[in-house]
């Protein structure tokens, strides 16, 4: 039987939504799903080398006053960072991370080397559209 596939579009670059995506990705990896992640608009900023590992540079999606409480709680509970969730999932199952070319350019990232080593390539939006048509599960975060 062929693995189920998930297409995950990351629009938000906020630490709370990236963490949620990491948790979902962990579940998909545990289920041995093939996952294609398309990093769009604000999320592309979070994948930049100088941003990804510094939660102080990431936004909070909703109530910004809760950011410190959220980060403190994650640390207290020993929850992985979003980057660690993504790395672990890539080690467990077939996960490909695609940076949208336009999104990269918006944040001054035109080459793959501008992004953390989790990124596999830079693609056009048509690849995302095709992936959504072929996936068993589609999520937009």
**pLDDT tens, 22-52?**
999 999 999 999 999 999 999 999 999 999 9
Report residue 56's pLDDT band, with 50, 70 and 90 as the boundaries: confident
Q: Distance from first CA to last CA of the chain, Å, rounded?
A: 29
Tens digits of residue pLDDT in 110-137: 999 999 999 999 999 999 999 999 999 9
Paired tokens of 58: 């990431």
Contacts of 14 (CB under 8 A, 6+ apart): 42, 58, 59, 60, 61
Say if pTM beats, i.e. exceeds, 0.85.
yes
Of 65 and 5, the structure prediction assigns the larger pLDDT to 5
Given this model, what pLDDT does residue 112 score? 97
Radius of gyration of the chain (CA): 14
How much of the chain, in percent, has pLDDT values that exceed 90? 87
DSSP state of 99: E
CATH number of residue 17's parent domain: 3.40.1260.10
With a CB cutoff of 8 Å and minimum separation 6, the contacts of 81 are 19, 22, 53, 55, 74
How confident is the model at residue 1, as a pLDDT?
A: 64
Classified as helix, coil or strand, 118 is coil
98 pLDDT more than 90: yes
Q: Would you say residue 64 has pLDDT above 70?
A: yes
**Structural domain that includes position 108:** 5-140
Q: For position 59, what pLDDT does the model report?
A: 84
Residue 17 has pLDDT above 90, yes or no: yes
How many distinct structural domains can be found in the chain? 1
């Amino acid at each position: 039987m062929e693995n189920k596939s998930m297409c995950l579009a990351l629009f938000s670059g906020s630490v709370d939504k990236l963490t949620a995506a990491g948790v979902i990705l962990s579940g998909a990896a545990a289920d041995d799903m093939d996952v294609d992640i398309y990093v769009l608009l604000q999320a592309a900023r979070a994948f930049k080398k100088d941003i990804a590992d510094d939660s102080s540079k990431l936004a909070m999606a909703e109530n910004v006053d809760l950011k410190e409480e959220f980060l403190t709680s994650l640390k207290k509970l020993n929850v992985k960072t979003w980057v660690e969730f993504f790395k672990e999932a890539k080690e467990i199952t077939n996960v490909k991370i695609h940076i949208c070319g336009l999104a990269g350019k918006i944040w001054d990232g035109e080459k793959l080397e501008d992004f953390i080593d989790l990124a596999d390539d830079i693609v056009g939006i048509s690849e995302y559209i095709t992936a959504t048509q072929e996936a068993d599960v589609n999520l937009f975060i």
